[in-house]
Amino acid sequence: MVSRARADSRLSRAAGLRGASVPADFGALSRAARRGDAAAVALLERSARYVAVGVRTLANVMDLEAVVLTGPSFAIAGASYVPAIREELERAATAPAIGGAAMVLQPELVPLHDGLRLPGPSKSPSPR
């Protein structure tokens, strides 16, 4: 995110990026976003979406109860990331329910043609 901001000369000047360190420039970029700079807001929102997907993946794989994002960068811009993370986690919470419902309803909704049905339990031959 900081490298993209540094590459944009207008944004770099407006945010006061100095190139001294990534954390310092991230802080300056976050402050520019809070002031309403559209390019800074767009970069921060994009970054927040990527972090949100990462958090969702970790939460699903590791079955986490809580996620704590910490450090100097999140201390500055954490409030910008929380809505994107919350939205991603809420969306992810409904995905298993939708998938489960689709699997239950699939035999009723898909036409009875070979190759269009999910494989069901194997049928044991009936006794003769």
Q: What is the mean pLDDT of residues 16-41?
A: 91
Structure-model confidence comparison of residues 26 and 67, the more confident one: 26
Q: What is the mean pLDDT of residues 34-47?
A: 93
pLDDT at 24 over 60: yes
pLDDT in tens, 46-90: 999 999 999 988 887 887 788 888 887 788 888 888 999 989 888
Residues contacting residue 10 through CB under 8 Å, at least 6 positions apart? 39
Cα-based angle 49, 72, 65 (whole degrees, multiple of 5) = 55
Q: What is the mean pLDDT of residues 27-44?
A: 92
In this structure, how many other beta carbons lie within 10 angstroms of the beta carbon of residue 77? 22
Q: What is the per-residue pLDDT for 43?
A: 93
pLDDT at 11 over 90: yes
pLDDT in tens, 84-124: 998 988 887 666 667 777 777 777 666 665 555 555 665 55
